[in-house]
Amino acid sequence: MLGLRVHIDSNSGFCFGVVYAIEMAEDILNQEGHLYCLGDIVHNDEEVKRLIDKGLEIITHDDLKFLKGEKVLIRAHGEPPATYELAIKNDLTLVDASCPVVLKLHNRIKNSFDRGDKIFIYGKHGHAEVKGLLGQTGDQAVVFQDIEELDTENMPKRITLFSQTTKSTDKFYEINRLLKERGIEVHTNDTICRQVSNRDKELRSFAENYDKIVFVSGSKSSNGKALYDVCKQKNPNTYFVSHPDQVKPEWFSSANSVGVCGATSTPMWLMEEVRDKLLQF
């Protein structure tokens, strides 16, 4: 026995938007035994599998076109206006679990677009939340993941800048500064969720306090990849797992202190299973 000393980060686990969506799904599943969900309810395969076992059925936007008279959950990422228009046309009942922070951002972008602003969105190409934001502009906004993607020489000289809610505040303000340095007038809208962005700072502190870190996240989670990198920078002895079976005893030495943490899409029960696995070594 290695006698590992294992501690779970109390700040890790679902953000409130994901908690809200999953609670809504579970309430309906407990009452009705079945519910359609448009896309993965959360970017964590183990949590999705748990809810599928309770009766959740994941569908795509293509599937939605052929669905009539059913109940469909909108996940925390939100959806573009076209989804709501299709729901009316197909007599669908939408259970809207869009995160309130995301919905507020939708409204701000729509108001900005209606004023004729040139809108730029700092976010991940193809991300579900970003697709919803783009929809508020009739897909006319410019999405970029890095300032180097932008041709700043030929950009409008006055822009309105938004961000996907889960991006880094430090990177957002660095982009804001660089654009202004290049002669662009930027109307900045800080639309980043602090519950998510503060995880960055909290994890830096957490990762320094242990011999080894086990970071638990779904492989599809962009937030998970970013936060894993944060841990790895502070503690090179950081390991990424999506399931308890992926944890290996050879990573550890006798009496190591081990911190277990995760993404905003990682359920606490999964981190607890990883802890229990570690305690068996």
What confidence category does residue 198 fall into, taking pLDDT thresholds of 50, 70 and 90? Answer: confident
Q: Tell the residue number behind the tokens 């993607």, with chain if given.
A: 149
Mean pLDDT, rounded, for 253-261: 97
**Mean pLDDT computed over 129-133:** 97
- Closest alpha carbon to 196 in 165, 174, 175, 220: 165
What does the pLDDT read at residue 273?
97
Structure tokens at 98: 């869009």
Instruction: Give the list of residues 6+ apart from residue 262 with CB closer than 8 angstroms, or none.
Output: 9, 12, 13, 215, 216, 217, 224, 227, 270, 271
The arithmetic mean of pLDDT across residues 76-90, rounded, is 96
User: Which whole number is the average pLDDT over 258-273?
Assistant: 96
Torsion, Cα 66 39 149 160, to 10 degrees, reads 90
Confidence (pLDDT) at 196: 84
> What average pLDDT score do residues 188-197 get?
90
pLDDT tens-place string over residues 24-76 = 999 999 999 999 999 999 999 999 999 999 999 999 999 999 999 999 999 99
Q: What pLDDT sits at residue 220?
A: 84
Residue 45: the pLDDT is 94
Q: Mean per-residue pLDDT for 236-250? A: 97
pLDDT of residue 277: 97
pLDDT at 222: 81
Helix, strand or coil, per DSSP, at residue 71: strand
Domains of the chain: 5-13+196-279 (3.40.1010.20), 16-99 (3.40.50.11270), 101-192 (3.40.1010.20)
pLDDT digits (tens, 9 = 90+) for 142-168: 999 999 999 999 999 999 999 999 898
Please state, in angstroms and as integers, the Cα–Cα distance from residue 36 to each residue in 67, 103, 122, following that order: 10, 21, 30
pLDDT at res. 231: 96
- Over residues 208-214, mean pLDDT: 97
- 3-state SS of the chain: helix, strand, coil percent to 5? 45, 20, 40
For 100, the token pair is 């309130």
Residue with the larger pLDDT of the pair 250 and 196: 250
Residues taking part in catalysis: 129
Evaluate if residue 102 carries a pLDDT over 90.
Answer: yes
pLDDT value of position 223: 85
Amino acid code (one letter) for 67: L
Rounded to the nearest integer, the mean pLDDT of the chain is 95
